[in-house]
Structure 1
Amino acid sequence: MNLLLAAGVLAVSLLGGARQTEAADCPFDEWRTYKNTELRRTADRKAYFWITSRTAIDADGAPKAYHPDDVGKPCGATGAGLDCPSNAGYPNKSWWPTVLASDPTNPSKAFVQPSGPAKGFFVSKTALQDSANGNERDTARYVDASTIPYLVFPRPFFQLVGTGKPGDLGMAFHLETQKQTAFIVADIGPDEPLGESSIALFKALGGNNPNPRNGSGVASGKVLYLVFPRSVDQRPRKWPMTQEGIEQGAETLLDAIGGMSVLQACATLD
């Protein structure tokens, strides 16, 4: 089934308030709760989903995510970079080197890109990286939040058995805009509830210029996130992938569990 059409069917069914589907029609069983969000997964543990209205926008990996001119300034709605350096922990938090590449000549400072389209910006990293690219200061090593729909897992969530790891694929469906997108799990976030994703993911779901600085520009309503844990193990390399490759991989995995008709039966359990 065409995914865009199917997503529309799913959203219409939800907006119409249909709640007559029985749990027996849904191959996803109750699994666990993470920070008040209920997760359900299949008996073979190859897929699980949750539904949430929480949104947090991640700019990490984008070549223009953070700029030195914004250091020390209040995190307003606008600035030189897509996000505020303070949200990357820079310069006062000890963990900023996990978000920004450090300067090899002065590791206490973040590296500034000397050339290219993002000249003058810091190099922002993601947990998912191209292992074949040994240059930590090359933006091509990371997953660009401005162009690739990706999901962020809180660090404690990664540590739970069965949730998956960076490079896993999934599908996100916005239950009100009726838009959908495939995604890749690409970054690690703080100990917060589920719902953080890249700029590109929220844009694909109907957002209008999603702003990591203040959270604006995201389409309101609930999103269903379906994850295929350890699906990354089916590929020879975790990263890079094209968006087309992410979509094809996620669609194949979705078809293997019954396609959109299965999610239509499960989504009303929220």
Structure 2
Amino acid sequence: MNFRRAFLACLLCLYPLYTVSAQDIPPGDMLDAMVRQITGKPVPTAITFDRRSGSTGSVCRLQPALMNLIRNGSTARTFSVLVDSIVGADSPKVFFATLSRVAVDADGSGRAYHPEDPLGRGVCQRMTASDGRPGLSGICALDQFSSGGAYVFSGTQKLSRDAFVSNWLSMWPKIRDKQLRPVVLADVVPDVPREFYFFHWHDRGLTAFFKDNIIPRDNDGYPCRYQAADGLRNGYFISSTTLEANTRPRADGCAPNRYLDAEVVPFVVLPKGGFGKVRIGDIAIVQFKNRVVYAIVGDAGPATKLGEGSIGLNARLLGKFGEPFLNMKATWTLDIDSGGPVSILVLGDTHGRLNGNYSPLNIESVAREELSRWSGAGDPLARFEACRAMAPVNPAR
């Protein structure tokens, strides 16, 4: 018996000191097999910067650099970027990159994930809401469960496509009606990320996993959902962003307005949430073709990936903001991978200027002021354009 199985056996011997029973947890060897498929081994990551040959430019005044995304001691990806400095732990403070592709990120949207549309295949009907604005009727999630860190296993087999859908739809009512008990994975399996929680349906041999840093839990441990008071979002899972507003939660512990609404708020995603003095919540200026969007750093992505933007950001860059998106297929049309590169300027150490107000109007107002301060006298975009002219385009990989 390995350590994990021994730990689990000991835990069950102590029941009811703990709040789980044998019916709530798969057999130890099966759980261990599932855990290996969804967590793997911890992967040490880091971000470093090296000097790159080239001129700083008399107008841009940023240094050419190589941004190295490191995994397990080896460089996984390298980007050619511009920064103000690479010296010291607090460097850089200003970051500029031009990317050939910016994928769309739905996390934080009120319609990102719905328990009855796990693959984002539903199609809503267009309608006019009571306030006269265009709206939607029906269920049409903007993303699929796999993007939300949700998995379903039959035994030790991780399910996909039709098998995933049919088994999930059988299991969901049991979770919804609290007939299955939630279990925090780290409470029964040592040395795993604490954000995982799961439900086990003993009679069917099904186990569903979630990540609470994407789909948070309520006070009883069940996935948070929007309610009737939330209008068109009613019934969808609440999905989170790394940047959070200071809002009071509901009585059940869920906070539907705590996270950035990806459909509305223009934000970029940075690996691990930041580096140097470039952090979550900082001001970002993004340009695609002749469109400039004022945004913030709103979410943390994989440590070895760069190039994601919210629905609200990409829709503005493409001139589609305000259009209702009918499902995940429509969301994917917001991936920017043709028609010209996207340039992103992040002004570090500016998050405090927003005073916790993450409305698009306040973001734009503060971002314009910060861009003018960074640019100096004259055209606020002149320095940005100078950096754009000298920044290499990083190909999509």
Q: TM-score, normalised by structure 1?
A: 0.78
Deviation at 1:77, TM superposition (A): 8.6
Q: Does the 8 Å CA contact 1:129/1:240 hold for their aligned counterparts?
A: no
Please list the CA deviations of residues 136-167 of structure 1 after superposition, one character each: whole Å capped at 9, or x if unmatched.
52221110000110111121x62x323x2221
CA contact (8 A) 1:37 1:51 kept: no
Gaps of 5+ in 2: 1-53, 69-76, 86-90, 124-138, 153-194, 197-209, 393-397
Distance 1:54 1:81 in 2: 23
- Tell me if the contact between 2:141 and 2:328 (Cα under 8 Å) persists in the aligned partners: no
The 1:77/1:48 distance shift into structure 2, 3 A limit, reads farther
- Per-residue CA deviations over 1:191-231 (Å, capped at 9, x if unaligned) read 34211110010011015468766732344221000001111
Q: Where does residue 99 of structure 1 map in the other structure?
A: 214
Structure 2 distance, partners of 1:212, 1:240, is 29
Residue of structure 1 aligned with 2:317, choices 190, 193, 205? 205
Which secondary structure does the structure 1 equivalent of 2:363 belong to? helix
The one-character-per-residue Cα deviations of 1:209-258 (angstroms, maximum 9, x if unpaired) are 687667323442210000011111345x3x33221111111111111122
Quick check: 1:147–1:200 contact (8 Å CA) kept in 2? yes
Judged with a 3 Å threshold, the aligned counterparts in structure 2 of structure 1 residues 267 and 232 are, in CA distance, closer, same or farther, namely same
Alignment partner for residue 263 of structure 1, among 374, 384, 392? 384
Structure 1 equivalent of residue 101 of structure 2: 54
Does the CA contact (< 8 Å) of 1:207 and 1:218 recur in 2?
no
SS of aligned partner of 1:181: strand
Q: Which residue of 1 aligns with 2:297?
A: 185
1:122 and 2:237 are equivalent in the alignment: yes
Match of 1:150 among 263, 267, 277: 267
Instruction: Tell me if structure 2 keeps the 8 A contact 1:112–1:123.
Output: yes
**Given residue 227 of structure 1, which amino acid in structure 2 is its aligned partner?**
V
Matching residue of 1:65: 112
Residue in structure 1 matching 2:366, options 235, 249, 255 = 249
Distance 1:115 1:85 in 2: 22
State the aligned residue count: 239
Equivalent position of 1:24 in the other structure: 57
CA distance in 1, matches of 2:296, 2:270: 11
Matched AA of 1:51: T
Question: Partners in 1 of 2:249 and 2:357 — Cα distance?
Answer: 13
1:83 paired residue among 113, 128, 143: 143
CA distance in structure 2 between the partners assigned to 1:212 and 1:229 by the alignment: 32
CA distance in 1: counterparts of 2:219 and 2:284, whole angstroms: 36
Counterpart residue type for residue 86 of structure 1:
S
Tell me the residue number matched to 1:225. 344
Q: Is the 8 A contact 2:247 2:257 kept in 1?
A: no
Mapped partners of 2:241, 2:370: distance in 1: 24
Could you tell me whether the CA contact under 8 Å between 1:41 and 1:49 is conserved in 2?
Answer: yes
Give me the whole-angstrom Cα distance separating, in 2, the residues matched to 1:150 and 1:88.
18
- The CA distance in 1 between the partners of 2:381 and 2:218, in whole Å, is 47
Give how far 1:124 is off: 1.0
**What residue in structure 2 maps to residue 194 of structure 1?**
306
- Tell me the alpha carbon deviations over residues 4-48 of structure 1, each in whole angstroms, 9 at most, x when there is no partner: xxxxxxxxxxxxxxxxx9643221112332432222122595422
Deviation at 1:134, TM superposition (A): 4.1
Q: 1:169 to 1:260 in 2, by over 3 A?
A: same
1:17 is matched with: none
Spell out, residue by residue over 1:48-105, the C-alpha distance to the aligned partner (whole angstroms, 9 max, x if none): 210001222111111111100123x4x6596721111221012459361101121433
**In structure 2, which of residues 222, 235, 255 is the aligned counterpart of residue 138 of structure 1?**
255
- Structure 1: stretches of 5+ with no match in the other structure: 1-20
Bigger RCO of structures 1 and 2 (CA < 8 A, at least 6 apart): 1
Percent identity, please: 25
Question: C-alpha distance in 1, partners of 2:357/2:383?
Answer: 30
Alignment match of 1:38 (pick from 58, 80, 83): 80
In the alignment, the residues of structure 2 paired with residue 96 and residue 207 of structure 1 have an alpha-carbon distance, to the nearest angstrom, of 33
Bigger CA radius of gyration: 2
Instruction: Give 3-state SS (helix, strand or coil) of 1:253's partner.
Output: helix
